[in-house]
Structure 1
């Protein structure tokens, strides 16, 4: 069982942190829009014997609290919160692992170079550093995606994943998607996906591994190649065949093996 800690990082923000394993290189896991520390449970179970695995709930998601404000959940604000937390973890050198929105946050943290000890980054089905502005109808669909268990289950089964997930995994995903606070839910489609962090991402100077899903409908392989690889110097890509956007739950074995191989080479 992981050690569970809570860190106050502001008057209305407390971060839930799960720590598994207490030796070996340190990995910090950042989840997707709608996820939580549980998104990485299967990956961490395969790594925690040899790594110190630290999974964090972003503000407003999972068991973390966040501001009751519609404009408090930008990529920049999420990065600042994580940057303020990392020194308090007292961990030394570490590798960031960011999935989807968490990957965009990881790119910003890495390019800002404000945190000591960051040795490498694994971007899992990452949101690119480029801005994405959705048409009005698509934006409305995203804003309502997590509004009910029924809509969240549809999204999990038909949009986010490309493999058949078991009912227990779907139930976990749906619970996490729907329990996020209203402002955290709305931030990504309203403004966070439109943030342009390209110039900061171009300053990244640590090794980067990109893990992409062959069948990803959200961050398509073509988009990841054009908008992540072309803006992050030296990034290498590995494509997981037959998998969609939810790589940590669709292909935890492949993701954990790739993370392990990457970190062992640092």
Structure 2
């Protein structure tokens, strides 16, 4: 595996690459509090048939932690990704995004559709459509960001891992739960708080009106136990009926963590369908 630190627009972005350059490429973007390591088990299932690239997003993992929240905005992160893909000479690839990484993946694809051969969104959304909802969410994110900086990373993680969104993860083996906790504890207070302020769901613009006009094949994956995001995915699918949506039984928000082999198999089968169908959705 190539473990790289690449200079991009004033940042040092951490990238993990596996596989030969001639193979089709799958790029993975993690969620809030995650790192490229969250994809390890999934990426192992792609070995030999795809080149995989996992990226630490701004303020997470080994990527630079900017001091100003504005540097975490959706617009900045889209341009960081575009510059990174230019640096890596990636003309086209498949893009997989989870939760926050899914929102970034969707926004990137809307702006640079020709690079993305297919988009896979796990437990993600196009943002909040209603301005009042965005204002309320922005205030909630600001409050949480303040608590992270005031109370520290350990206190935050203690609370974060017990929110209802991650209830299904409590049934995971102890070693896996500890690995998830350690990944979260390795983050910095500044990185997480600025991420909430700069690219929280309340801060980004809504992309709901862009869905129906997207030319890319899109695959939505949600967990049966994650009712909120199952509903969001169905609403997205209603606006873009050619997209595919699968609900994974007995899985929560982070399907790639709870059922990595199944998650990888679903993606590989979808990409094979795309390749055989000549790009059909």
TM-score normalised by the chain length of structure 2: 0.82
The answer to whether the aligner puts 1:148 opposite 2:158 as a matched pair is no
Mapping 1:1-266, distance limit 5 Å = 2-11=1-10, 13-22=11-20, 23-113=22-112, 116-131=114-129, 132=134, 133-134=136-137, 140-141=143-144, 144=147, 147-149=152-154, 151-156=156-161, 158-161=163-166, 162-163=168-169, 164-190=171-197, 192=199, 193-194=201-202, 195-198=204-207, 199-216=209-226, 219-226=228-235, 228-232=236-240, 234-266=242-274
- Secondary structure class of the residue paired with 1:120: strand
Q: For the Cα contact (< 8 Å) 1:108–1:201, is it kept in 2?
A: no
Q: For the Cα contact (< 8 Å) 1:129–1:201, is it kept in 2?
A: no
Distance 2:7 2:272 in 1: 33
Query: In structure 2, do the counterparts of structure 1 residues 188 and 204 end up closer, same or farther at CA, with 3 Å as the change threshold?
Result: farther
Aligned positions, number = 261
Q: For the Cα contact (< 8 Å) 1:6–1:16, is it kept in 2?
A: yes
- Secondary structure class of the residue paired with 1:71: helix
- Secondary structure class of the residue paired with 1:98: strand
Q: For the Cα contact (< 8 Å) 1:209–1:235, is it kept in 2?
A: yes
Q: For the Cα contact (< 8 Å) 2:94–2:119, is it kept in 1?
A: yes
Aligned-residue offset at 1:165: 2.0
Is the helix fraction higher in 1 or 2? 2
Aligned-residue offset at 1:152: 1.5
Aligned-residue offset at 1:77: 1.7
Aligned-residue offset at 1:254: 1.6
Distance 2:62 2:186 in 1: 9
Q: For the Cα contact (< 8 Å) 1:111–1:203, is it kept in 2?
A: no
Aligned Cα RMSD in Å?
Answer: 2.5
Q: For the Cα contact (< 8 Å) 2:8–2:83, is it kept in 1?
A: yes
Distance 2:192 2:115 in 1: 31
Q: Which has the larger radius of gyration?
A: 2
Gaps of 5+ in 1: none
Residue range with higher mean Cα deviation, 194-203 or 78-87: 194-203
Aligned-residue offset at 1:86: 0.7
Aligned-residue offset at 1:232: 4.8
Distance 1:233 1:83 in 2: 28
Query: In structure 2, do the counterparts of structure 1 residues 93 and 155 end up closer, same or farther at CA, with 3 Å as the change threshold?
Result: same
Query: In structure 2, do the counterparts of structure 1 residues 124 and 137 end up closer, same or farther at CA, with 3 Å as the change threshold?
Result: closer
Q: For the Cα contact (< 8 Å) 2:15–2:54, is it kept in 1?
A: yes
